[in-house]
Amino acid sequence: MADRQDLLTGTEAPPEHLALDVQKLAAYLAPRVDGLGSDFTVEKFKGGQSNPTYKLVGPGKSYVLRRKPPGHLLASAHAIDREYRVTKALSDAGFPVPRPALYCDDESVIGSAFYITEFIDGRVFWNADLPGVAKADRTAIYDSMNVYLADLHKLDYKALGLQDFGKETGFTARNLKRWCSNYEQSKLVDVPDIDWLMQALHDRLPQSEPTTILHGDFGLYNAMVHPTEPKVLSALDWELSTLGNPYIDLAHNTRAWWEPHGFAEGSATTLMGHDLDALGIPSLDAYVASYCKRAGIDAIPDLSFYFSFVQFRYAVMIQGILKRASIGTGVNRAVKHTQDRVATIAALARKTLTESE
């Protein structure tokens, strides 16, 4: 089996169904994007599942292009217009994200809407145990990721002009309904535990919840780490960003601690089974406690609910990848998720919820 870091790092030639008309794209971008010109090369980044992402290398500067994939799409997915809006607002406020340069909804240019952002040089780690990284640097990288998420959640979204980026109340209930709908649209076979979870999670919905800017899928695999220093420079892939409950963002961020073994080639890995003290990586409890301290709270109420919720949601995400693969709109040919994986994660989510009752 290929190493995940090698498998998902760097660029490759786009597959035929994701190839760009470079001549038409160059004619559109040359007068609109500084330093790119019309003589640039295009390669697709290997990592990522949902929105195809390309590196544009010009004579003066490099940029990144993210687009909607071609084909029939789920109504709530691939919201690159929202990615562009939130990253522009964050960038304008000085928060560390790739600076957007242009948004284009004219599908005649490359066949779908897209946006252009600056290219940030750095490292993305797909192996949660950070092999080859010094122990002290592992500690610093995980702590920096914790700081980044806590700082994001402390931002004043109204001051950033994002008060209408999502509804300010009832996020968890709406998000659960959305992911239930996504599952119904992506379903290929019956998964009884998911059917159970859709009702059980509804019955345990929080009575009240805070509201902040959410990243939506922040983990080590979406953290851009400095090329040489153990510091998170930015977060990538803001497709699921919205206003909502930060405890969901945190629970999803901790995926490496609770994800079972058996992950697919092409997915991020787990910390389960590793000696975290020896690696210099904090325990799940210590990581959550650090977040709470930075967020200014004593503890997260009904934390098991949030873990179960994001485990359910993760199972549905995998189901969506399988659905896209079945109809030919998947963007990463290296991913080999299986239907059994959906069932495994759903069973974990059910166990998480029932053991906390």
Task: Tell me, yes or no, whether 227 lies in a domain.
Answer: yes
Query: How far is Cα 208 from Cα 352, in angstroms, rounded to an integer?
Result: 21
Number of domains forming the structure of the chain = 2
Give the CATH number, domain containing residue 141.
3.90.1200.10
- pLDDT exceeds 50 at position 118: yes
Q: Same domain for 35 and 153?
A: no
Check residue 259 and report its DSSP letter. P
Structure tokens at 43: 């390669």
Residue 165 contacts by C-beta under 8 Å, 6 or more apart in sequence?
Answer: 82, 85, 86, 157, 213, 241, 242, 243
**Taken in order 113, 94, 145, 225, is the CA torsion positive or negative?**
positive
Rounded to an integer, what distance in angstroms lies between the CA atom of residue 293 and that of residue 47? 33
The last residue of one of the domains, among 118, 150, 173, is 118
- Extract long-range pairs of 313-318: CB within 8 Å, 24+ residues apart: 313/175, 313/179, 313/252, 314/252, 314/255, 314/259, 314/345, 315/191, 315/194, 315/342, 315/343, 315/345, 315/346, 315/349, 316/179, 316/182, 316/183, 316/186, 316/194, 318/342, 318/345
Residue-level pLDDT at 21: 85
Domain co-membership, 189 together with 47: no
- Rounded Cα distance, 303 and 67, in Å: 35
**Domain assignment present for 337:** yes
Percent of the chain with pLDDT over 90: 68
Q: Of the candidates 118, 148, 166, which is a domain's last residue?
A: 118
Is residue 258 pLDDT above 60, yes or no?
A: yes
Shared-domain flag, residues 303 and 212: yes
| Residue 247's pLDDT band (cuts 50, 70, 90) | very high
pLDDT at 44 over 70: yes
Q: How confident is the model at residue 310 (pLDDT cuts 50, 70, 90)?
A: very high
Same domain, 170 and 289: yes
Q: Do the domain assignments include residue 128?
A: no
Q: What is the pLDDT of residues 86-98, one digit of tens each?
A: 999 999 999 999 9
**Mean pLDDT computed over 148-171:** 96
pLDDT band at 1 (very low <50, low <70, confident <90, very high): very low
- Domain shared by 255 and 294, yes or no: yes
Domain of residue 33, CATH code: 3.30.200.20
In a domain, 96, yes or no: yes
For residues 349 and 245, membership in a common domain is answered with yes
Report yes or no on 233 lying in a domain: yes
Helical H segments across 93-189, by residue range: 135-154, 171-186
CA distance linking residue 87 with residue 68, whole number of Å: 17
Provide the Cα torsion 116, 120, 121, 124; round to 10°: -90
Rounded to 5°, angle at Cα 299 from 87 and 208: 70
Average pLDDT in the chain: 89
Residues 6 or more apart in contact with residue 199 via CB below 8 angstroms: none
**Across the chain, which distance is largest between two alpha carbons, in Å?**
61
How far apart are alpha carbons 48 and 314 in whole angstroms?
15
Kindly tell me if the per-residue pLDDT of 49 is higher than 70: no
Q: pLDDT tier at 239 (50, 70, 90 boundaries)?
A: confident
Residue 124 lies in a domain: no
92 lies in the same domain as 190: no
| Percentage of residues of the chain with pLDDT beyond 70 | 89
Banded model confidence at residue 325, pLDDT cuts 50, 70, 90 = confident
pLDDT of residue 333: 45
Per the domain annotation, does 35 fall within a domain? yes
- Same domain for 156 and 305, yes or no, is yes
Range of the domain at 197: 135-354
Give the mean pLDDT of 288-308.
96
Question: 232: which DSSP letter?
Answer: E
Q: Do 173 and 106 have their domain in common?
A: no
Residue 109: pLDDT band (50, 70, 90) is: very high
Structure tokens at 300: 């997260």
Interatomic CA distance for residues 308 and 300, integer angstroms = 14
pLDDT at 43: 86
Do residues 142 and 54 both lie within one domain? no
Question: Which range is most confident: 55-69, 289-303, 343-357?
Answer: 289-303
My answer on whether 104 and 174 are in the same domain is no
State the sign of the Cα–Cα–Cα–Cα dihedral 204, 207, 210, 213: positive
Span 228-255, mean pLDDT?
A: 95
Together in a domain, 31 and 167: no
Q: What are the structure tokens assigned to 256, written together? A: 């490496």
Boundary residue ending a domain (89, 118, 147): 118
In this structure, is residue 129 part of a structural domain? no
pLDDT above 80 for 76: no
